[in-house]
């Protein structure tokens, strides 16, 4: 976090803070927690604050049927739907500058009785993977690029209307176009200023090709801080849009005739002497053996980790397309048609860009998956195949990637890397939710069904 915005608990009232949000990511990457009057935050620092484990057991719509059916060891009628305690991470205490008089502090859930970290927490999982990597004498660096769609519709009215008559903020493809961005500069200038005051540095922003689509990239750095910024950024975008009478969505593909929204992940590593380990001056392409193995690991484990990279039915509307959303287990140099794109022309800038995740991904899970895959590749010195020259979509499909959440669930459960990262209980927990996402979708009659079949079959 930017040091000059970091707050200490005893500075809150003098800074005009009246409410402190204590929050942690759920399994979808959304922030859940409690609001604490500033005068009570000292008690929370000392003791934590309890919330229900249901936050990690219900589905994306907060349906309770899986909890009622006792599908999870963590939370169900069998154990009374218990609490966990959120322990604030004071290193993350900052103003939520887009909200007047509010600060926010990220937290980690721990068992109420043993105070052991809750292993299902996405933030805890990422911290555990970062510790594994640092034991190897390496420090990972990461950055995310996040796209979203912004519509000129009031969010409450939009939900009441069934999300009909969407009015996009741009009406023509506007990728990199300056004029369209100028029209919304007051909105984005305020958003960027609030993010900066909240310790979230935006590296660049632009209008995108999709109608109403926008992108922001964040300052490269520590993966845990990056995931925290990512989650807070999504919250700030939604809040700021709603106050302006607009609606933002981070769906992977919200419109049939428009491109999907991505979450490209950039990754590199330095050693204990801060030397970039991906650069090899003697190699013809400057890629070190470690970088080649890291890319190979990311590609090898990508099918099994689509459960994290593409967690919803809608995710596969994007990943199954040819919208430069990754293409099987492929890589290339500055090639947007491949799943891994190598970019950068200097030791510190050389990195790989992982293009599979959509904007709906949980950043903590995605960073855990990409970093663990790269680590595994480097440890095993996994051999990387040839780079793709030209369009990866012209190659025969390798059939490795799952096409829906149910297939992703199966590969997730079978993966040796996943079994290294998670206990069988935790794997089962996530599989139950993935399977439920698919069966819930398959149980519904959609507009597509009616238009395709009603009077034609």
CA angle 179, 184, 189 (to 5 degrees): 115
**Phi, psi values for residue 84, rounded to 5°:** -125, 165
Domain boundary among 78, 109, 140: 109
Q: Which two tokens stand for residue 368?
A: 């855990």
Q: What is the pLDDT of residue 180?
A: 85
Cβ neighbors of 114 (< 8 A, separation 6 or more) are none
User: Both 84 and 211 in a single domain?
Assistant: no
Q: What is the end-to-end Cα distance of the chain in Å, rounded?
A: 58
The per-residue pLDDT for 174 is: 86
Asked whether residue 36 falls in the same domain as residue 154, the answer is no
pLDDT of residue 15: 96
Asked which of 48, 81, 109 is the last residue of a domain, the reply is 109
Distance from CA of residue 272 to its chain's centroid?
A: 28
- The H or E element spanning position 189 is helix 185-197
**C-alpha distances in angstroms, 185 versus 197, 216, 243, 373?**
18, 13, 16, 39
Indicate whether 114 belongs to any domain.
no
Quick one: pLDDT at residue 228? 97
Count of domains for the chain: 2
- The list of the chain residues with pLDDT below 50 reads none
Residue 84 sits in the same domain as residue 195: no
Q: How far apart are CA 291 and CA 295, in angstroms?
A: 6
3-state helix, strand, coil in the chain (%, to 5): 40, 20, 40
Flag whether 433 is in a domain: yes
Q: Which domain holds residue 294?
A: 129-453
Secondary structure, 3-state, 379-437: HHCCCCCCCCCCCHHHCCCCCCCCCCHHHHHHHHHHCHHHHHHCCHHHHHHHHHHHHHH
* Contact criterion met (CB below 8 Å) for 41 and 9: yes
In the chain, the largest separation of any two C-alpha atoms, in whole Å, equals 69
DSSP bridge pairs for 399 = none
Q: Which of 109, 137, 164 is the last residue of a domain?
A: 109
Instruction: Say how far apart CA 89 and CA 22 lie, in whole Å.
Output: 9
Q: How many CA atoms lie within 13 A of 116 on its CB side?
A: 4
The predicted structure's pLDDT at residue 348: 94
**81 neighbors 53 (Cβ within 8 angstroms):** yes
Q: Are residues 216 and 80 in the same domain?
A: no
Please check whether residues 162 and 55 belong to one and the same domain.
Answer: no
Pair 45, 174 in one domain: no
User: In angstroms, rounded to a whole number, what is the distance separating the alpha carbons of residues 9 and 7?
Assistant: 7
Tokens representing 33 are 């927690």
Q: DSSP state, 237?
A: H
User: CA-CA distance, 170 to 401, in Å (whole number)?
Assistant: 33
Question: 4 is written with which tokens?
Answer: 């000059």
CA distance 258 to 148: 12
Instruction: Note whether 287 and 210 are same-domain residues.
Output: yes
C-alpha distances in Å from residue 287, one per residue of 133, 192, 256, 290, 377? 20, 35, 39, 8, 15
174: domain CATH number?
Answer: 3.30.590.10
The reply to whether 425 falls in a domain is yes
Q: Are residues 367 and 440 in the same domain?
A: yes
For the packed helices 289-300 and 363-380, what is the interaxial angle rounded to 10 degrees? Answer: 130
Secondary element (H or E) of residue 66:
helix 65-68
| Domain contains 428 | yes
Judgement on whether residues 334 and 228 belong to the same structural domain of the protein? yes
Q: Are residues 223 and 332 in the same domain?
A: yes
Gap between the Cα atoms of 247 and 312, Å rounded:
20
On whether the CB atoms of residues 334 and 415 are closer than 8 A, the answer is no
Determine, yes or no, domain membership for 187: yes
pLDDT score for 323: 86
In angstroms, the CA 330 to CA 303 distance is: 12
Buried b (16+ CB within 10 A) or exposed e, 351-386: bbbbbbbbbbbbbbbbbbbbbbbbbbbbeeebebee
CATH code of residue 76: 3.10.20.70
Judge whether 234 and 132 are in contact, CB under 8 Å.
no
Q: What are phi and psi of 235, to 5 degrees?
A: -60, -45
Is residue 406 assigned to a domain? yes
Q: Phi-psi region for residue 274, left (φ > 0), alpha (ψ -120 to 50) or beta?
A: left
In a domain, 434, yes or no: yes
What's phi and psi for 83, nearest 5 deg? Answer: -95, 165
Q: Are residues 104 and 145 in the same domain?
A: no
SS3 state of residue 65: helix
The number of angstroms, rounded, from the C-alpha of 417 to the middle of its chain's C-alpha atoms is 20
The pLDDT value recorded for residue 203 is: 87
Closest CA to 150 of 7, 78, 247: 247
Would you say residue 226 lies in a domain? yes
- In terms of domains, do 91 and 137 share one? no
């Amino acid at each position: 976090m930017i040091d000059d915005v970091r707050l200490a608990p005893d500075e809150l009232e003098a800074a005009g803070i009246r409410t402190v949000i204590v929050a942690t990511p759920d399994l979808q990457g959304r922030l859940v927690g409690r609001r604490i009057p500033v005068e009570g935050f000292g008690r929370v620092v000392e003791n934590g604050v309890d919330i229900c484990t249901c936050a990690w057991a219900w589905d994306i719509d907060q349906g309770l049927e899986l909890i009622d059916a006792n599908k999870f060891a963590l939370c169900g009628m069998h154990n009374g739907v218990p609490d966990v305690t959120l322990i604030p991470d004071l290193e993350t205490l900052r103003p939520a500058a887009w909200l007047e008089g509010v600060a926010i502090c990220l937290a980690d859930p721990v068992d109420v009785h043993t105070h052991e970290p809750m292993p299902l927490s996405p933030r805890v999982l990422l911290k555990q993977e970062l510790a594994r990597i640092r034991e190897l004498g390496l420090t990972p660096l990461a950055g995310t690029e996040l796209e979203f769609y912004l519509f000129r519709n009031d969010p409450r009215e939009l939900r009441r209307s069934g999300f009909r008559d969407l009015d996009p903020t741009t009406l023509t493809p506007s990728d990199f176009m300056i004029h369209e961005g100028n029209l919304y500069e007051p909105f984005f200038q305020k958003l960027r200023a609030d993010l900066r005051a909240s310790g979230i540095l935006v590296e660049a922003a632009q209008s995108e090709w999709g109608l109403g689509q926008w992108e922001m990239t964040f300052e490269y750095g520590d993966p845990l801080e990056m995931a925290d910024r990512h989650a807070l950024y999504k919250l700030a975008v939604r809040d700021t849009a709603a106050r302006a009478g607009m609606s933002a969505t981070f769906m992977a593909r919200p419109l049939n005739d428009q491109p999907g929204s991505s979450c490209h992940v950039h990754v590199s590593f330095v050693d204990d002497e801060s030397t970039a380990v991906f650069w090899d001056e003697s190699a013809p392409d400057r890629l070190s053996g470690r970088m080649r193995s890291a890319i190979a690991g990311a590609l090898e484990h990508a099918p099994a980790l689509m459960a994290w990279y593409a967690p919803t039915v809608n995710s596969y509307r994007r990943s199954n397309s040819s919208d430069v959303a990754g293409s099987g287990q492929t890589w290339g140099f500055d090639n947007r048609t491949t799943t891994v794109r190598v970019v950068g022309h200097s030791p510190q800038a050389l990195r790989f860009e992982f293009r599979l995740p959509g904007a709906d991904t949980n950043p903590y899970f995605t960073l855990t998956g990409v970093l663990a895959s790269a680590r595994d590749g480097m440890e095993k010195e996994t051999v990387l195949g040839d780079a793709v020259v030209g369009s990866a979509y012209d190659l025969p499909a390798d059939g490795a990637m799952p096409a829906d959440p149910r297939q992703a669930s199966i590969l997730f459960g079978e993966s040796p890397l996943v079994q290294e990262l998670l206990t069988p209980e935790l794997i089962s927990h996530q599989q139950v939710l993935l399977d439920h996402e698919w069966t819930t979708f398959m149980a519904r009659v959609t507009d597509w069904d009616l238009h395709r079949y009603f009077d034609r079959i």
